[in-house]
Chains A and B, each alone.
Chain A
Amino acid sequence: MIRRAGFIIVTLIVPLIGILAIVAYQIITGTMEPSVEITNIGYIDEAGGFDNYTKQGNVELVRYDAVAQANEALVKEEIEQYVIITQDYLNIGMINIYTLEKQLEPPPEVTAAIKDFLSSNMLAGKVTDATIGLVNAPLGIVSIRLTETGDIATEQGGYGNMLIPMIFGVLLVLSISFSSSYLLQGMGDEKENRLIEVLLSSVSTKQLIIGKVLGMGAAGLLQIIIWVICAPLLLNVASISIGGFLSTLEITPVLFILFIVYFILGYLLFAIIFVAIGAITSSAREGQQLAPIFTLLSVSPLWFASALIFFPNNPAFIALTIFPFTAPVTLMMRLGITEVPIWQILTSIAVLLVCVVGGLFFTAKIVRAFLLMYGKRPSLGTIIRSIRSG
């Protein structure tokens, strides 16, 4: 399987997409980069008293006495926009902004500059400059997580910590869906040309299933290892060029161990399910139509990511943490956001283990009953009957 062109392409393409994403990020942020040039904004002071503090960061406010002058400047591109501070501004607090550009709202930089210009002028002479500065920027938040003993926790929250679990979820789902499609293809072929009988004339059903699951697991693991090796390189490239929180990413040992445990258990569960699907369906194509149900199930916690960020301990997400198909991705995401109680982790691992072992026996029965039926798809009733008798 690992020699298949498809496998090699998929394995290599994921890191390539990563590189592309970094390049794309750079291109986009490059074009959005805050300009160091001075932006000129015109204003007409009908209210009076707005004469000082015309330099706000990179924005220069230029005074005009009449609308006609401001319009002329606007057309000549001496200014990008202008505002009129009307006489009743001090009563209503409304300002009109005029521009030639089509825009949803003025750029935040411009809005901030106008706001600071207005408030500074209104406060001028009444309070100190330091107070004016505070009024303009009253709140710079630094959030620090403490441990129960009151020390500063080694592991701080934040968006960076969410990223790793998200990546985990995506990698698990990618790997499961790629390798399951190979598994189903392979089993379909083996059934179609009766190789399966040759195999079963050599090994027992259980050996066959375990072999399939381990084979699929090994291929998936190889893929993940390649991706994980690429990840630090990509992160390095990314943090050099993107910087910011990416460089602060760190994986704690506990997270890493849980990552491995959930990856293996999640993988085993899905591999066993896919072997059962391969056994029940009569062709590879049919199997691949059935498989996405389970792949979608595994990826489903990602759909609710935005809700999960705000309510990580909602009972629904606790249920998803324990439900075996969604457990790996849900738990990883919650770990990045909140503290998950130990009992939930242990319960979810126990449920996964039970499902893996139970699934193995269940699948062995299904395989024994249906692997040897060709061309006919068993009805649900037949499946249940034969599981009882098989």
Chain B
Amino acid sequence: MNTKKPIYVRPLDLKQGRVEMAHGAGGRAMAQLIDELFATAFDNPFLAQGNDGALLPPANGRLVLSCDAHVVSPLFFAGGDIGCLSVHGTLNDVAVMGAQPLYLAASFILEEGFPLADLKRIVESMAHAAREAGVPIVTGDTKVVERGKGDGVFITTTGVGVAREGITLSGDLARPGDKVLLSGTIGDHGMAIMSQREGLAFDAPIVSDTAALHGLVAAMLDCGADLHVLRDPTRGGLATTLNEIAQQSRAGISLTEAAIPVNPVVAAACEFLGLDPLYVANEGKLIAICAERDAERLLSVMHAHPLGGRAAIIGEVVEDAHGFVQMTTRLGGRRVVDWLTGEQLPRIC
């Protein structure tokens, strides 16, 4: 990108400027936005090819492809923003397939009038997240919609990876007797977002857990544990993801409430709003289901990784034709942990 010619009369005004319809119209304005913002931030040889698609070297193994659309309000939150979130979200979807992510593609839908300074922050955050993860953003697209027809920025990312040889992970492979592991505390991302919602706002030192998990996954695969399922419990939280697995595997899951880590401040915020952290979104956690004999070993591998410091064995897979997820409560009783009904709403009166 260093050989780029200065073909534009004036550089983009990244301080005061705003997104205009022309930035998505395919003309010179769009080329300038791509050159001065996206290509500069994402800078890599594949993107520098400057073509409609990226020409990539042959991959060695089974390909994993995953795609995720990101919409979040507010766009900037404690611990991250829509930019890094859109990188982590897709990397994690590829990683929990037991794969090493190799490349990302990103597509932006921008709303007319959106401040270029904010866009710059988001794009730089994406670039930083991708660089940290060691996965380049090799191709992309930008469209602009009229003011009022978008929510600032929507970002869709697609990730390609290569599955580890001999590893097959799938939601239908949980077997009675398997142990259920969780990589850390739940509810941090969802409550970080909730704390900034209009009408519900409160002050709390809650930081989104958004993070790329493929390093942790690689360490877990390296240890040779007999892994059956990996999933990242995002929307709908831990409860929803476990119900998906139980249904796919036609088995029950039995949890121990006291074993599930929750940050005290997240628990407190949930109490305030009548929310259950089991249903609150995460963006940097994974659930692992593995053969019982390997559970302790897998747990110590997770503990040794920076993103698994608070990992815990939270339950086990049991025979249950109904596919219920059940939990032994802190009090010693039992309850069903059901699917989420609609969006989780505060319950206060």
A binds B: no
